[in-house]
């Protein structure tokens, strides 16, 4: 019997065979280890109240495995919700000769209930003993010890006693946690890392760059690495004088600093998720222009490649203007840069204000590069620009709603390129590039829903797949067709306005579109986002009228699909 995909006229289907890798269970819970230090007082003597002035004694260490009490806050994947970062004052100094970096971060925190523990994220960083103080009064608090809980990549600061909650009605009442740290620039191409390239003179040149999504900002500095915990950044990069420094915001001041080299200070950022922060030290050149709305834009590349940035600059300007008009929300930062990185693990990454790209996805040489390369550059640039609204201005609250970022950007990229290059017929290409391929994947019993719970750190990376991207884009395209362009756009603008500089869940999107349309959007779309697969809908004329039936489309027609039902609006005439 022919499968539903064959009935759709699909000529061939690539069957994906999954291999289940069973990992041996790790017995016991892992406790982290802090740097060995000599304490001035014995651990058993640390019973003074948290409000007392802190001593200068180094904190003791924990080096043995521990069976933690079941209510220990570090045993859950998510950070406690009663500690919220407000601002990071961050300094980073890469050493491109020693392949290391050092840094210091002062975190302004609002704490809404008394606590003995402050949890941060780190991964492969070495930390010095942190300090904790009350920002308004300068009162310091004793740190009893620090340790890591490796399964969740937590760094735990245990206080000698509970520190009291901040006054919720006083915006200035905060705690400041300050810590010095260091890490390696090599061994990986995520986090804060070293990249190299060879110039036309045969010289090997180095740069420090970053790639943080989804959970690699914790490789660069200690902080609260969850998308909902947006905070402002004040960043300083210390580097060799012959290099330039780039970050999310424009440069505020740059000056020579003793024997350290050059200090580049950046303007304070808007509130943003930490995975959107970006830090680059390089010797690149740039081309520049300005959008219709007055935003300065630049495209950076190695000196030998900078002449191949002109198409990306042009398409960037045109699509940014279009998105500002369509979404009715101006691009919010005072500058927008793009940069081609020689070693980049992803196709591109939407760091706010400084989008990073693999070179092949940003550089185009007229008369040499292929037409396919030109379209790839336009598509990737459009996708990343879409994220400035879908992902950066409004961010998913947690990774199970990743599709709100990636599904939207994957659909909107076609609108942007279609506006800039109308002869390419991009809206028709969507069917071939995204819709049909994801049919094949979603017709397998091994597919998964668009909204997928995340229970372990490694599962976050796993959901960056075709279901989140292409199926997410496809259901957005379907909903836009059902509601109509004008109503759909009204709802999207309201969604972006209501949740600007904040986070949202899928239901928040449905609510905005339901308000704009008067349609039961959540009822319809839950069946498409909370269960895997898609239906085949059959229409048959009978003596009593039109009979409409549906079944889940599956490659394996013998699989049980009795529980699969999809709310499928349709029109006929």
Q: What is the pLDDT of residues 148-202, one digit of tens each?
A: 999 999 999 999 999 999 998 898 999 999 999 999 999 999 999 999 999 999 9
Q: What is the pLDDT of residue 457?
A: 81
Q: Same structural domain for residues 234 and 337? A: no
Q: Same structural domain for residues 121 and 260? A: yes
Domain assignment present for 303: yes
> What are 117's strand-pairing partners?
158
Q: Same structural domain for residues 519 and 438? A: yes
* Helix-strand-coil split of the chain, %, nearest 5: 30, 30, 45
The reply, when asked if residue 350 is annotated as ligand binding, is: no
Q: Same structural domain for residues 365 and 346? A: yes
Mean pLDDT of 91-110: 98
The reply, when asked if residue 406 is annotated as ligand binding, is: yes
Domain assignment present for 341: yes
Domain assignment present for 560: no
Look at the pTM and tell me if it is higher than 0.75: yes
Catalytic residue among 384, 413, 421, 519: 384
Whether residue 273 is predicted with pLDDT greater than 60 in this model: the reply is yes
Q: Helix 310-327 and helix 371-387: axis angle, to 10°?
A: 40
- Going across the sheet that includes 115-121, the strands are 115-121, 154-163, 143-149
Q: Same structural domain for residues 232 and 292? A: no
> What are 204's strand-pairing partners?
198
Percent of the chain with pLDDT over 90: 77
Domain assignment present for 429: yes
Q: Which of 506, 512, 508 is nearest to 475 (CA)?
A: 506
Domain, as residue range, for 337: 284-396
Q: Same structural domain for residues 272 and 241? A: yes
Q: Same structural domain for residues 237 and 103? A: yes
Query: Quick one: how far is CA 511 from the chain centroid?
Result: 24
Give the CATH number, domain containing residue 263.
2.60.40.1730
Q: Same structural domain for residues 100 and 244? A: yes
Domain assignment present for 25: no
Q: Helix 521-529 and helix 472-483: axis angle, to 10°?
A: 160
Tens-place pLDDT, residues 393-422: 999 999 999 999 999 999 999 999 999 999
Q: What is the pLDDT of residue 361?
A: 97
Mean pLDDT of 52-63: 43
Q: Which of 114, 125, 46 is nearest to 83 (CA)?
A: 114
41 or 548, higher pLDDT? 548
Q: Which residues contact 517 (CB under 8 A, 6 or more apart)?
A: 483, 487, 488, 491
Identify the weakest region by mean pLDDT among 53-62, 87-96, 182-191, 492-501. 53-62
Give the CATH number, domain containing residue 334.
1.10.390.10
Q: Which residues contact 367 (CB under 8 A, 6 or more apart)?
A: none
Active-site residue flag, 366: no
Domain assignment present for 6: no
Q: Same structural domain for residues 80 and 124? A: yes
Q: Are 534 and 553 in contact (CB under 8 A)?
A: yes
Q: Same structural domain for residues 253 and 146? A: yes
Whether residue 43 is predicted with pLDDT greater than 50 in this model: the reply is no
Mean pLDDT of 8-34: 37
The reply, when asked if residue 383 is annotated as ligand binding, is: yes
Tens-place pLDDT, residues 104-116: 999 999 999 999 9
Mean pLDDT of 62-75: 76
Mean pLDDT of 219-227: 98
Q: Same structural domain for residues 420 and 346? A: no
Q: Same structural domain for residues 406 and 529? A: yes
Confidence of residue 52 (pLDDT cuts 50, 70, 90): very low
Tell me the pLDDT of the chain averaged across its residues: 89
What's the domain count of the chain?
3
Whether residue 470 is predicted with pLDDT greater than 60 in this model: the reply is yes
Domain assignment present for 67: no
Domain assignment present for 558: no
110 or 31, higher pLDDT? 110
- C-alpha R_g of the chain: 26
Last residue of a domain, one of 356, 381, 396: 396
């Amino acid at each position: 019997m022919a499968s539903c995909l064959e009935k759709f006229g699909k000529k061939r289907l690539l069957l994906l065979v999954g291999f289940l890798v069973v990992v041996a269970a790790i017995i016991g819970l892992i406790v982290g280890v802090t740097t060995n230090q000599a304490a001035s007082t014995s651990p058993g003597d640390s019973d003074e109240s948290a409000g007392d002035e802190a001593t200068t004694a180094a904190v003791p260490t924990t080096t043995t495995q521990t069976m933690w009490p079941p209510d220990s806050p570090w045993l859950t994947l998510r950070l406690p919700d009663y500690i919220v970062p407000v601002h990071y004052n961050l300094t980073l100094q890469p050493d491109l000769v020693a392949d290391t970096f050092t840094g210091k971060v002062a975190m302004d925190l609002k704490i809404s209930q008394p606590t003995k523990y402050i949890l941060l994220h780190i991964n492969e960083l070495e930390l010095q003993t942190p300090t904790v103080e009350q920002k308004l009064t300068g009162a310091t608090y004793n740190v009893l010890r620090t340790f890591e809980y490796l399964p969740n990549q937590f760094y735990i600061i245990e206080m000698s006693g509970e520190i009291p909650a901040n006054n919720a009605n006083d915006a200035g009442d905060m705690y400041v946690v300050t810590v010095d740290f260091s890490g390696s620039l090599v061994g990986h191409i995520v986090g804060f890392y070293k990249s190299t390239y060879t110039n036309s003179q045969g010289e090997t040149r180095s740069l420090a760059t970053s790639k943080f999504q989804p959970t690699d900002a914790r490789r660069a500095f200690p902080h609260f690495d969850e998308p909902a915990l947006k905070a402002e950044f004040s960043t300083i990069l210390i580097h060799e004088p012959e290099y330039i420094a780039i970050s999310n915001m424009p440069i505020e001041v740059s000056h020579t600093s003793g024997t350290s080299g050059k200090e580049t200070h950046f303007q304070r950022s808007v509130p943003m998720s930490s995975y959107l922060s970006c830090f680059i030290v390089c010797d690149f050149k740039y081309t520049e222009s300005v959008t219709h709305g007055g935003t300065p834009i630049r495209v950076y590349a190695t000196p030998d490649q900078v002449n191949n940035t002109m198409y990306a600059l042009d398409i960037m300007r045109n699509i940014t203007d279009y998105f500002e008009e369509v979404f009715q929300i101006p691009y919010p930062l005072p500058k927008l840069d793009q940069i081609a990185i020689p070693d980049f693990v992803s196709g591109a990454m939407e760091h706010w204000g400084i989008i990073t790209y693999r070179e092949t996805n940003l550089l185009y040489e007229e008369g040499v590069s292929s037409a396919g390369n030109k379209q790839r550059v336009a598509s990737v640039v459009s996708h990343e620009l879409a994220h400035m609204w879908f992902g950066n201005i409004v961010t998913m609250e947690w990774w199970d709603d990743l599709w709100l970022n990636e599904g939207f950007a994957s659909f909107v990229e076609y609108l942007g390129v279609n506006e800039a290059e109308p002869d390419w017929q991009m809206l028709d290409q969507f069917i071939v590039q995204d819709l049909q391929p994801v049919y094949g994947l979603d017709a397998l019993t091994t597919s998964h829903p668009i909204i997928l719970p995340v229970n372990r750190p490694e599962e976050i990376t796993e959901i960056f797949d075709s279901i989140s991207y292409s199926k997410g884009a496809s259901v957005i395209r379907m909903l836009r067709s059902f509601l109509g362009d004008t109503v759909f756009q009204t709802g999207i603008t309201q969604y972006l306005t209501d949740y600007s500089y904040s986070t949202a869940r899928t239901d928040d999107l449905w609510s905005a579109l339901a308000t704009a349309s008067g349609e039961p959007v959540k009822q319809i779309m839950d069946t498409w986002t909370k269960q895997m697969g898609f239906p085949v809908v059959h229409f048959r004329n009978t003596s009593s009228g039109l009979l409409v039936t549906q079944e889940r489309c599956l490659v394996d027609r013998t699989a049980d699909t009795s529980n699969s039902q999809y709310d499928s609006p349709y029109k006929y005439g």
